[in-house]
Amino acid sequence: MGPKFGTSGLRGLVTELLGSTSALYTTAFARMLLDGGHVKRGGAVMIGRDFRFSSPEIAAICMGALARAGLTPIDCGELPTPALALYGMRGGAASLMVTGSHIPADRNGIKFYRPGGEINKADEQSITALAEKLSSDPDATRVEYGSGADHSVDAIRIFLDRYKTLLHKAGLKGLKVGIYQHSSVARDLLVTILESYGATVVPLGRSEGFLPVDTEAISEETRRNFANWVRKHGLDAIVSTDGDADRPLVADETGTPLRGDLLGLISAKFLKAKVIATPVTSNSGLEEASGAEVVRTRVGSPYVIDAMIEAISVGKEAVMGFEANGGVMLASDFPLAGGTLSALPTRDCVLPIVTALNRSAQIGAPLSAIVAQYSLPIALSDKIENYPYEKSAALMAHLRASESNLAQFLKQIGDVKARSDFDGLRVTLSDGRILHLRPSGNAPELRCYVEASDQDSAEQVMAQGLAALTDWSPSSL
């Protein structure tokens, strides 16, 4: 099928990206920047990468292609995607992050940033069209390994400086926090940041090989590890991120992970946000719980960012966004007691992690009690991996073809009360439970989101939904 753009960046198999494909798409990105007047010839492009085994080679190919296209690559090393984006924005430079985020190590990807922030869907279409046009050009597909001046120390310093005034120095004092380090590019930064606020930090589970950590579909093994670690070390919480550290992971004092959209809500409350942009897959209770104007979007950071930009364009203030995976984006500057937190319109993991822990420290209550205070519907998310594109496309076409097809598919789960085709298929059952099916745009995965009034009902509908998806076959039609 080849690499393609999904909810955030270009992704594909390592075997597809290594070599001419990375050179081609980087050349197309450079051409888009130059043709659109976003950068001048010779302008800098910041390059970052995650800890995947394939990322250094892909980054070198990208740097070679950028230099060949007339731009100046700057090597920012291994760092969080939001740190790279911030560094580029501060310097008025474009950026390129080599990462597959949370997907398995046999896959990788590239995220692209204009000097003003993350590219949008129109930019993706432009890059794709240019790549098709340039695919027969030997210069555009030539593999050359480039390099750039090392700016890794400066990029990390600016990211750390951003959070120095988020809380007062004792904002996390009294908390003992485990950091599940695995292969996250933020694994050492999180230690520095949390200790600077007075937390006692326990590093856990550092990995030399790459581990795909999906903050929306946490594995049973990881959940067991969390439960064991909180007991063994007497922890108040465990925090982590996905591979490129633009999605947070926070577990409470029992080792139970918190939903990403709840982390976004806590951040919104901390910042006193007036407008929140968030996808349709985020918890349906946000409108009531936030006290802010909530704008629903399709899944993917470009859609959230477009909604934030639209809100700013019509004069809205205190505008932010977040996704169900917990990544928080700021379209506005937000005043704080110790200064101002500047806009950063790309997913960030640090803000939701710190604000959730601070809420616990501030009111002297465990994270589990804070979860209960918000009284949101119980929302769960999971996925089926290695679910072929063809199968998911056939399934969605079948379910949309007729009401009887959908009813037959759900006969063991419940009766259909309402349905929506807004980014996947979202079904509200007669008892109020929600089942939302959404094929991944750039990996052979099918995601399942559910909501219910209590944990048992949510777990039941999730199990039933995953079972129905697994059992379905086009051959049965």
Residue position matching structure tokens 């550290």 = 245
Q: In angstroms, rounded to a whole number, what is the distance separating the alpha carbons of residues 21 and 95?
A: 18
Taking phi first (over 0 means left), then psi (-120 to 50 degrees means alpha), and beta for anything else, what does residue 297 get? Answer: beta
How many other CB atoms are found less than 10 A from the CB of residue 390?
Answer: 11
Question: Which parts of 272-349 fold into alpha helices (H)?
Answer: 286-290, 301-313
Tokens of 335: 């005043």
- Show which residues are catalytic: 101
Listed in sequence order, the residues at least 6 apart from 358 whose beta carbon sits closer than 8 Å to its beta carbon are 167, 171, 172, 197, 270
3-state secondary structure of 35: helix
Contact at 8 Å (CB) between 120 and 112?
no
Tokens of 418: 């309402």
Q: How many residues does the chain have?
A: 477
Q: In angstroms, rounded to a whole number, what is the distance separating the alpha carbons of residues 208 and 52?
A: 10
Among 42, 138, 55, residue whose Cα is nearest residue 93: 42
Q: Phi, psi (5° rounding) for residue 140?
A: -75, -25
Contact at 8 Å (CB) between 115 and 89?
yes
Burial of 282 (0-12, 13-18, 19+ CB in 10 A): buried
- What is the dihedral sign for C-alpha 401, 404, 406, 409? negative
Q: In angstroms, rounded to a whole number, what is the distance separating the alpha carbons of residues 440 and 445?
A: 5
